[in-house]
Chain A
Amino acid sequence: MSKSNYPAPRTIVTTVYYLIPLFVVGTAFYFMPALYHLVGMLFMAFLFSYLLRPPVEFLQKKGLTRNRSTIVVFVLLFLLIIGILGGFSPLIWRQAVNLQHTLGELQIEETIEDGSGQLEETLGFMGYLNELEKSLGFIPEGTFQEQISRAYDWGLQQITGLLFNLYLIAQYMVVIPFIAFFLVRDQQEIEKFFLSAVPNVFFEMAYNIYIKVDGKIGEYMRGLALEALFIAILSAVGLYLLSVPYAVTIGIFVGLANIVPYIGPVVGAVPALIVQFVETESLAAVLAVVIVIAIVQFLDNLFVKPVAFSHSMSLHPLIVILVIIAGGQLAGVLGMILGIPVAASLWVIGREFSWAVNHYRFK
């Protein structure tokens, strides 16, 4: 029995010992909502660094040191962003401000007041029903139209908060590249630093698991970027052809929203629908927008997804949707975006670990 497949008690103890810091860090993150944006930035920078590694490695292949090639890539990225902002910013800015203005000025309350007033007149018993439900505690305070307009305000707040919290966006846009720079430049050192804590017995195994997870996240991120770009361009063009106002801004938003699977495309379509309805006040035009967005999704599923995600993240759709909901509950939009890569990484770690336990002897 000297060659047992299971780790000796001592090694189990050391494993637990090494899991403690992970647990402490995890708890700290969970109980400190104050660090929400910091953790978010760290994660985003970490994922972002996967997009920048290929060009850096390409330059390294051309004979530059890692440091210099990272600097070159970041300078190019900076110029690219400046170029895009310079070229598009008047357009995007004007559109974004106008869009916010339009959404804010919507005369939705009056419309609802009219409509529900009529409704209550026709259905006289609604008032009694309301009273009854209120006494039972089914519905919150306020009349029907107050509730509706409150819900509408909330939705508007969410959308505008997401789109136009410029200070936060600026903060993210400055800090994420800053962190990403060091994550890309010192990637190998960071990797070594964390892996050096692994005990000798598990080292080869741990590194192999790391390589698998690393590759998966890389594939996923590159696929995601490709998809977002494709969808943003296609929907901007499509919406422009339908002469939807703010086509470029909404196109970019649709592309970004698409990062969250299943829910993203629906959320991304909402501003387009609202704007189109306010502009034309015709259901046919709104339907046309729905069709355009559906066609973009269809093309994405047909041509981009098979190429971009050919062999990555093999998560069951049910798990994906559960993870998104859980991520949303735990950490809002960030949780929805980060949920999938985190869950898929855990999945790969679990699979590789169980394989390793059956194949290594851990002597």
Chain B
Amino acid sequence: MDKIKPAVKKVRAVLQARWRDLKVFLDESWSEITRTEDPQELQLVDFLRNVKLFEGLKKNTEFLSLIKFLHRRQYSKDEVIFSEGDPASALYIVEQGQVALQGDAADSFKEKLLEEGDFFGELAVCLEHKRTAEARARSAVTIYLLFRKNFQRFVQRYPQSGLQILLNLNRQLATDLRKTELEMSRLSSQTDQTKEPADSV
């Protein structure tokens, strides 16, 4: 009995080693088949984590799936990204450079400058409408496009994260609305003030 035990142990050790080799082999071939994430994509994920629109999203897999929907585009300085009145179908995320948003009537709102990590054209994912402003590249610009259709697909595929994104979008829109309201009330009170003296005279 005492003689058999070490032999059994030895055999078991060998078998375990074989088993471990097999597991490693299977793992390796599986990851070979399934293609591990490439570093460029992970870099992009890091960038997207800092975009306000995707605040609160956690899983890497979801970001990787999101990347599949993004289209990368490069614009040279002063190139028009979209003009007012164009049909709107995509949201833009600035990766590099500066983009200027400008309403057509120059004084309707001041030029808005967008930089790394900002997004614009977000109304396009909410409704089918026309662009309400012109976007122009202020410098050489790299941006990512997210089309309405793909946005919907992503939200359907990951409802939890989709809800989070929609909340983020909502927050942005509400902030803009509040700003506009304040501006309007300020303007109307200004016109009231300018009107009153004119009436009294």
Q: Decide yes or no whether A27 CB sits under 8 A from chain B.
A: no
Taking A57-B157, A200-B79, A363-B83 as contacts, is the C-beta distance between A207 and B90 under 8 angstroms?
A: yes
**B83 touching A203 by the CB < 8 A rule?**
no
Q: Decide yes or no whether A67 CB sits under 8 A from chain B.
A: yes
Q: Decide yes or no whether B33 CB sits under 8 A from chain A.
A: yes
Minimum CB–CB distance for A215 against chain B, Å = 9
Q: Decide yes or no whether B85 CB sits under 8 A from chain A.
A: yes
* Residues of chain B contacted by A360 (CB below 8 angstroms): 86-87
The complex places the Cα of A189 from the Cα of B149 at a distance, in Å, of: 17
**A359 touching B149 by the CB < 8 A rule?**
no
The complex places the Cα of A189 from the Cα of B64 at a distance, in Å, of: 13
Per-position binary interface string of chain B over residues 103-125, scored 1 when its CB falls under 8 Å from any chain A CB and 0 otherwise: 00000000000000000000000
| Chain B 73-116 interface residues, beta-carbon cutoff 8 Å to A | 73, 75, 79-83, 85-87, 89-90
**B34 touching A68 by the CB < 8 A rule?**
yes
* Residues of chain A contacted by B86 (CB below 8 angstroms): 204, 359-361
Partner of B157, one of A61, A200, A203: A61
Q: Decide yes or no whether A165 CB sits under 8 A from chain B.
A: no
Minimum CB–CB distance for B181 against chain A, Å = 31
Nearest A residue to B156 via CB reads A61
The complex places the Cα of A203 from the Cα of B82 at a distance, in Å, of: 10
Q: Decide yes or no whether B61 CB sits under 8 A from chain A.
A: yes
Minimum CB–CB distance for A229 against chain B, Å = 27
**A207 touching B71 by the CB < 8 A rule?**
yes
Partner of B34, one of A65, A208, A363: A65
**B71 touching A192 by the CB < 8 A rule?**
yes
* Residues of chain A contacted by B80 (CB below 8 angstroms): 363
The 7 closest A-B pairs by CB, nearest first: A363-B80, A188-B68, A361-B83, A363-B83, A67-B34, A61-B157, A211-B149
- Sample of 15 A–B contacts (CB below 8 Å): A67-B33, A67-B35, A188-B69, A192-B71, A195-B71, A196-B71, A204-B145, A207-B89, A207-B145, A208-B87, A211-B149, A359-B87, A360-B86, A360-B87, A363-B83
Q: Decide yes or no whether B147 CB sits under 8 A from chain A.
A: yes
Q: Which residues of A contact B (CB under 8 A)?
A: 57, 60-61, 63, 65-68, 71, 188-189, 192, 195-196, 200, 203-204, 207-208, 211, 356, 359-361, 363
* Residues of chain B contacted by A63 (CB below 8 angstroms): 61
Nearest B residue to A67 via CB reads B34
* Residues of chain A contacted by B72 (CB below 8 angstroms): 196
**B68 touching A66 by the CB < 8 A rule?**
yes
Minimum CB–CB distance for B45 against chain A, Å = 14
Q: Which residues of B contact A (CB under 8 A)?
A: 33-35, 61, 64-65, 68-69, 71-73, 75, 79-83, 85-87, 89-90, 145, 147, 149, 156-157
How many A-B Cβ pairs are below 8 Å?
56
* Residues of chain A contacted by B147 (CB below 8 angstroms): 207-208, 211
* Residues of chain B contacted by A200 (CB below 8 angstroms): 73, 75, 79, 81
**B33 touching A203 by the CB < 8 A rule?**
no
**A203 touching B34 by the CB < 8 A rule?**
no
* Residues of chain A contacted by B157 (CB below 8 angstroms): 57, 60-61
* Residues of chain B contacted by A65 (CB below 8 angstroms): 34, 61, 64
**A71 touching B33 by the CB < 8 A rule?**
yes
The complex places the Cα of A188 from the Cα of B85 at a distance, in Å, of: 29
Minimum CB–CB distance for B170 against chain A, Å = 24
* Residues of chain A contacted by B79 (CB below 8 angstroms): 200
The complex places the Cα of A60 from the Cα of B157 at a distance, in Å, of: 8
Taking A57-B157, A211-B147, A211-B149 as contacts, is the C-beta distance between A204 and B82 under 8 angstroms?
A: yes
* Residues of chain A contacted by B156 (CB below 8 angstroms): 61
Minimum CB–CB distance for B35 against chain A, Å = 6
**B89 touching A208 by the CB < 8 A rule?**
yes
The complex places the Cα of A66 from the Cα of B157 at a distance, in Å, of: 12
Given contacts A65-B34, A203-B73, 13 further A-B contacts (CB under 8 A): A60-B65, A66-B65, A196-B71, A196-B72, A200-B75, A203-B145, A208-B87, A208-B89, A208-B147, A211-B147, A211-B149, A356-B87, A359-B87
**B69 touching A361 by the CB < 8 A rule?**
no
The complex places the Cα of A54 from the Cα of B68 at a distance, in Å, of: 17
Taking A188-B68, A188-B69 as contacts, is the C-beta distance between A204 and B90 under 8 angstroms?
A: yes
